[in-house]
Structure 1
Amino acid sequence: MDFLILPERTSGNRTYGLTSVIDFGTPIGELKHILDDYGYLIDIAKIGIGSAYVTPNLRKKIELYKEYQIKPYCGGTLFEKCFYQNKVPEYLRHLRELGIDWIEISNGTLDIPLEERLQMISEIKKDFHVIAEVGSKDSNKDMDICDWKEEINLLLQAGCDYVITEGRDSGTSGIYEKSGSIKSSLIQELIKDIDSKKIIFEAPTAKHQMYFIREVGPNVNLGNVKLQDVLVLETQRRGLRSETFYVEEDECKSL
């Protein structure tokens, strides 16, 4: 159907307007069925937390994602575990053997000094596309808005393709309060001073996703999207849900 006027969406090998899903162990057969119908809506697939280390048929899963032009990578927790055990060189070698071209550098569990992360990024970017993450998984830890801005800018300057704003798969830390409510003043400040096309906002629920679509636009980069929610998210981006019904009018007003 093409008779409605809907928000224009990026397509193909997108650089923004990204949908990044989180895979917590979807079986290969089920994943194949999902991608047959909805693979064109997905840009990036994170094999969540450290699950890639114990995922059966991991190589087949990676090849399947790549068959649908989806970029797979391993969750930042696996990187942090390797960092903690001084196994980062082994981790990088394993990623190359698996054919994974993207890597997440995070400090959601460990407190890795920013200077050390920047140094690693400057070295790793020669062989990988780097995604860095800002924010802690500990909901009791909070960062000043100026610290969020500074860290994101420094990570991008160091060579990251994108920076993720921490939200967890529960939406209860980082850019969210413990209650799950969005730190809207933080988000507004970030998108005011930083190119939002370079930020992937973790938005695990429809409520979170609709906020970012209304605040940033239908081509906002969203992460930690559940595989079963991909079509609903695209429907929201297209203004075909009540909460985003007028998004195309808002887009016209901003032009």
Structure 2
Amino acid sequence: MEFLEIPERTSGKRTYGLTSVIDLGTPIEELRNILNDFSHIIDIAKIGIGTAYITPNFQNKVNLYKKHNIKVYCGGTFFEKCYYQNKIPEYATYLHKLGIEWIEVSSGTLDIPIEERLNLIHLLKKDFHVIAEVGSKDASKEMTISEWKEEIQLLLDAGCKYVITEGRDSGTSGIYEKNGKIKSCLISELLEDIDSQKIIFEAPTPKHQMYFINEIGPNVNLGNVKMNDVLVLEAQRCGLRCETFYLEDQICKLPL
């Protein structure tokens, strides 16, 4: 029985309000139990770093995600390893054989020029839904706000379905300072010119997630969510945690 007034959430086959989990080696039986209970609040699964290449019975894991209508793709580090070794055609064949329809193009470890990434997207979007990532995993590499905006817009214009803002699974680079503090000025500037429904903000901790929910709303796209935090995140989105307690009041006061 539902009786509380809570923020309205997107549902079903969502195009925004996405929860993208990071799978860093979840055993398949454990995953099966998690998805039996929580698949309705998981939209995307990123098989983190390069673990897909060495995961036992990886096909079974891909099939399990797809059975629950969850989009699955391999993390950008795997893509960059293939790029570094000139194996992108082999990588595409590998994904096709697994039935994976999504691919990430990133430059988090390698410094792949934006022009080269755009060329790759042009080729890959013929066969895949492309997600691109902006930002470096090296916290010492800073991008200006204008560079962030320009890259994100170029990637969207090139045909990417979504653009991810780098944050790592630790929340210590990209849109975060080394100490984990969110670069709030950067986020505010991005939201001025770019449709937030097309951005997936990497937010690996509840603290990071709460910031984006309060800043953008319950239907913000969030990535690098830990598997065990999925239900807690949904509670936050619904105003059922102290830090998002008054969320529905804030939404009601927004101008039409």
Q: Normalising by structure 1, report the TM-score.
A: 0.99
- Quick one: distance in 2 between partners of 1:46 and 1:107? 16
Question: How well do the aligned residues superpose, as a CA RMSD in angstroms?
Answer: 0.5
Residue 184 of structure 1 is matched in structure 2 by: 184
Report the Cα offset of residue 180 of structure 1: 0.2
Describe how 1:97-108 pairs up with structure 2 within 5 A: 97-108=97-108
**Which amino acid is the alignment partner of residue 154 of structure 2?**
L
Report the Cα offset of residue 122 of structure 1: 1.0
Residue 250 of structure 1 is matched in structure 2 by: 250
Residue 87 of structure 1 is matched in structure 2 by: 87
**Which amino acid is the alignment partner of residue 236 of structure 2?**
Q
Report the Cα offset of residue 102 of structure 1: 0.2
**Which amino acid is the alignment partner of residue 64 of structure 1?**
L
Describe how 1:18-57 pairs up with structure 2 within 5 A: 18-57=18-57
- Quick one: distance in 2 between partners of 1:251 and 1:200? 21
- Quick one: distance in 1 between partners of 2:214 and 2:192? 15
Residue 214 of structure 1 is matched in structure 2 by: 214
The C-alpha deviation readout for 1:195-214, integer Å capped at 9, x for no partner, is: 00000000000000000000
The C-alpha deviation readout for 1:24-58, integer Å capped at 9, x for no partner, is: 00001000000000011000000000000000110
Report the Cα offset of residue 2 of structure 1: 1.1
Question: Identical aligned pairs, as a percentage?
Answer: 73
Matched residue SS, 1:36: helix
The C-alpha deviation readout for 1:174-208, integer Å capped at 9, x for no partner, is: 00000000000000010111000000000000000
- Quick one: distance in 2 between partners of 1:120 and 1:76? 13
Report the Cα offset of residue 253 of structure 1: 1.3
Residue 113 of structure 1 is matched in structure 2 by: 113
Q: Normalising by structure 2, report the TM-score.
A: 0.99
- Structure 1: which 4+ aligned runs deviate by more than 2 Å? none
Residue 129 of structure 1 is matched in structure 2 by: 129
Residue 70 of structure 1 is matched in structure 2 by: 70
Matched residue SS, 2:200: strand
Matched residue SS, 1:130: strand
Residue 142 of structure 2 is matched in structure 1 by: 142
Aligned residue pairs, count = 255
Matched residue SS, 1:91: helix
Report the Cα offset of residue 218 of structure 1: 0.3
- Quick one: distance in 1 between partners of 2:155 and 2:252? 32
Report the Cα offset of residue 230 of structure 1: 0.2
Describe how 1:223-238 pairs up with structure 2 within 5 A: 223-238=223-238
Report the Cα offset of residue 229 of structure 1: 0.3
Matched residue SS, 1:11: coil
**Which amino acid is the alignment partner of residue 222 of structure 1?**
L
- Quick one: distance in 2 between partners of 1:76 and 1:175? 17
